[in-house]
Amino acid sequence: MTTDLGKKVIYQIYPKSFYDSDHDGIGDLRGIIEKIPYLAKLNIDMIWFNPFFVSPQNDNGYDIADYRQIDPRFGTMADFEELVAKLKEVKIDVMLDMVLNHCSTEHEWFQKALAGEEKYQKYFYLRPKKADGSLPTNWSSKFGGPAWSRFGETDLYYLHLYDKTQADLDWHNPEVRKEAAAIVNFWKAKGVKGFRFDVINVIGKANELVDSTDPVQEKRLYTDTPIVHQYLKELNQASFGQDETIITVGEMSSTNFASSIKYSDPAEHELSMVFTFHHLKVDYADGEKWSNVPFDLMTLKKCLTDWQVEMDQGGGWNALFWNNHDQPFALNRFGDTKKYRVRSAQMLAAALHLLRGTPYIYMGEEIGMVDPTYTKIKDYVDVEALNAYQALQEKGYSASAAFAIVKTKARDNSRTPMHWDSSSQAGFSTTTPWLRPTGQEQINVKAELEHGTIFNFYQKLIQLRKNERLISDGHFKARFAKHQQVFSYERYLDDDSQKLLVFNNFSARFAELELPATDRFAGKTLVTNMGQTYEKLPQTLKLAPYETLAFKFDRPKL
């Protein structure tokens, strides 16, 4: 691999919430520039920025009205160029978010289409109602309600798999594909070295759109269709593929192993890696996100294991992550935010960073930030959360029951301003921010750097990945698959000369494992969050609540 994907760690910044340098309540590019020394300290290789292009912000920038301009609320093109240059000085590359499945209805393409220009009408899925007067298809928007809205004053409807202000682009049209490549090339020319492609596996809708029979089958109608691979190969060739040092990641909604392998197998010339989400659905009741049930560790273990093994065997590559701007903090879901906040944050970090793939750290994760303690629905701003709050009540939930569910699952949970210190607005801004801080301002960067141990722990994991081939290249094998508390695995190299054994206690109780003689050779502890080191693992290994331990040894030649 020319880009050494296994050695890199990528950090994600949600610009709206990172640091507000001009004190208008919205994070901005100059704010990020001010915080470069902090970012450099972590020793990450690249930063993925959520979109900061011109946008009405109906979906926080995923509704783009101009792909080539910085939205003035975030700064200027000069700020962006300065940001790229200054990050480069500290050896951090930039990854931008390409939202090419849809554009804002305020984009000039949509506006020209509305004004009657045929060329631009062909950029979208415009369809008449069915003969019986119903919408062109019975599909639902992923944010609630139907996936079709009326196209101006005409008799036509346009498709939107997301918000009604996010019109799906018709990739069958070669002009659309050309526009997509030109946008990528525009940013590539500005020194951008990474691209994240938003919901890229839904760009291949059929030409003939038909009704679905049920919600699961509905997704199949437009997800992972064979033509997506063709479009990606074409995009690769026409843009980022011309520079082999560029890293790409596709966000894959409801995908499967075979497709993900194909998207990320270097021999296919599509993408470098994929984000998949099955491991973050283990606290959904019967697949329903808007539910409130504890997570199932056995399902989580199996899911992580299957994605590790299948992708390795098929030649694919995983992006590894617990958090992003669409997810509540993993610490609230899989850890313990009270008694064992620090220890469980470290355990989650190690459990993920020692897997095979490229790890992503979401801003705030490295200081153990947690979900906000909001008490009213008015504190939430995300269109998806507000729609779900309504929909749950329409289904018969009381307002307080609906609120309790929204509170655990809202995307706003992780979009809260980064906590820099314990001053007002958590040091993010001097004015009221667009989204309130979490109410847990004692968790902040200043306190963490002064006396915390989570940030250091991340630094160490990042360094280890650069130094240890077992971590960057090794294969994965699940261990103790049936253990009810511990997620354990080993990493090994092709020649089987060395092994890394990893143990993660996902519970607040002590755990025990009986180790076979083949695990018990002299070696060294690479990672511990308990200060517990071994020269050789004991026969009965005892793990404290949320303990993580990684032990490396050479296998004696037999």
Q: Which residues bind ligand NOJ (CB under 6 A)?
A: 59, 62, 99, 162, 198-199, 251, 325-326
Report what 371 binds from ligand NOJ, Mg ion, none; CB cut-off 5-8 Å by kind: none
Q: Which amino acid is at 215?
A: P
Least CB distance to Mg ion at residue 26 (A): 4
Cα 376 from Cα 400, distance rounded (Å):
9
19 CB-near residues (< 8 Å, 6+ apart): 27, 28, 31, 32, 34, 35, 418, 420, 428
Looking at beta carbons only, is 388 or 462 nearer to ligand NOJ?
A: 388
Report what 326 binds from ligand NOJ, Mg ion, none; CB cut-off 5-8 Å by kind: ligand NOJ
Least CB distance to ligand NOJ at residue 346 (A): 27
Report what 24 binds from ligand NOJ, Mg ion, none; CB cut-off 5-8 Å by kind: Mg ion
Least CB distance to ligand NOJ at residue 310 (A): 23
Contact status: 270 vs Mg ion (CB under 5 A): no
- Nearest-Å Rg of the Cα atoms of the chain is 24
Stretch that binds Mg ion, among 27-35, 219-227, 235-243, 481-489 (CB under 5 A): 27-35
Contact status: 179 vs Mg ion (CB under 5 A): no
Report what 59 binds from ligand NOJ, Mg ion, none; CB cut-off 5-8 Å by kind: ligand NOJ
Contact status: 441 vs Mg ion (CB under 5 A): no
Contact status: 268 vs Mg ion (CB under 5 A): no
Least CB distance to ligand NOJ at residue 26 (A): 17
Report what 199 binds from ligand NOJ, Mg ion, none; CB cut-off 5-8 Å by kind: ligand NOJ
Angle at 418 between CA 335 and CA 472, to 5 degrees: 60
End-to-end CA distance of the chain: 32
Cβ atoms of residues 488 and 503 within 8 Å: yes
375 backbone dihedrals φ, ψ, rounded to 5°: -115, -10
Which helix (H) or strand (E) segment holds residue 352: the answer is: helix 341-353
Report what 28 binds from Mg ion, ligand NOJ, none; CB cut-off 5-8 Å by kind: Mg ion
Stretch that binds Mg ion, among 22-30, 252-260, 320-328, 361-369 (CB under 5 A): 22-30
Report what 162 binds from Mg ion, ligand NOJ, none; CB cut-off 5-8 Å by kind: ligand NOJ
- Of 194, 180, 188, nearest to 228 (Cα)? 180
Least CB distance to ligand NOJ at residue 96 (A): 13
Residue 82, judged by CB atoms within 10 A of its CB (0-12, 13-18, 19+), counts as middle
Q: How far is CA 164 from CA 142, 210, 351, in A?
A: 10, 20, 39
By beta carbon distance, the residue nearest Mg ion is 28
| Side-chain half-sphere exposure of 525, counting CA atoms within 13 A | 15
Looking at beta carbons only, is 15 or 474 nearer to ligand NOJ?
A: 15
Question: Which of 59, 71, 251, 336 is the catalytic position?
Answer: 251
Looking at beta carbons only, is 279 or 325 nearer to ligand NOJ?
A: 325
Contact status: 32 vs Mg ion (CB under 5 A): no
Looking at beta carbons only, is 273 or 464 nearer to ligand NOJ?
A: 273
470 in helix, strand or coil?
helix
Instruction: Dihedral sign for Cα 437, 442, 448, 452, please.
Output: negative
For this structure, is 34 an active site residue? no
Partners of residue 541 on adjacent β-strands: 513
Contact status: 63 vs Mg ion (CB under 5 A): no
- Of 228, 276, 233, nearest to 256 (Cα)? 276
Stretch that binds Mg ion, among 26-34, 40-48, 113-121, 521-529 (CB under 5 A): 26-34
Q: Which amino acid is at 245?
A: T
Report what 290 binds from ligand NOJ, Mg ion, none; CB cut-off 5-8 Å by kind: none
Question: At which residue do the structure tokens 């804002």 appear?
Answer: 104
Looking at beta carbons only, is 58 or 358 nearer to ligand NOJ?
A: 58
Looking at beta carbons only, is 123 or 506 nearer to ligand NOJ?
A: 123
Report what 62 binds from ligand NOJ, Mg ion, none; CB cut-off 5-8 Å by kind: ligand NOJ
* The two three-digit tokens of residue 66, written as one number: 């101009």
Least CB distance to Mg ion at residue 19 (A): 8
Least CB distance to Mg ion at residue 28 (A): 4
Which of 9, 14, 19, 28 binds Mg ion (CB under 5 A)? It is 28
82 in helix, strand or coil?
helix
- 354-391 residues labelled b (16+ CB within 10 A) or e (exposed): bbbbbbbbbbbbbbbbbbbebeebebbbbbbbbbbbee
Least CB distance to Mg ion at residue 59 (A): 20
Report what 547 binds from ligand NOJ, Mg ion, none; CB cut-off 5-8 Å by kind: none
Looking at beta carbons only, is 161 or 347 nearer to ligand NOJ?
A: 161
Cβ atoms of residues 511 and 485 within 8 Å: yes
Question: Which of 45, 63, 198, 366 is the catalytic position?
Answer: 198
- Of 254, 250, 257, 255, nearest to 275 (Cα)? 250
- 61-74 residues labelled b (16+ CB within 10 A) or e (exposed): bbbbbebeebbebb
Looking at beta carbons only, is 62 or 139 nearer to ligand NOJ?
A: 62
Least CB distance to Mg ion at residue 439 (A): 22
Q: How far is CA 390 from CA 293, 384, 396, 398, 436, in A?
A: 20, 10, 10, 10, 22
Least CB distance to ligand NOJ at residue 251 (A): 6
For this structure, is 198 an active site residue? yes
Which of 26, 32, 159, 445 binds Mg ion (CB under 5 A)? It is 26
Site for Mg ion, rule CB under 5 A: 20, 22, 24, 26, 28
Residues annotated as part of the active site: 198, 251
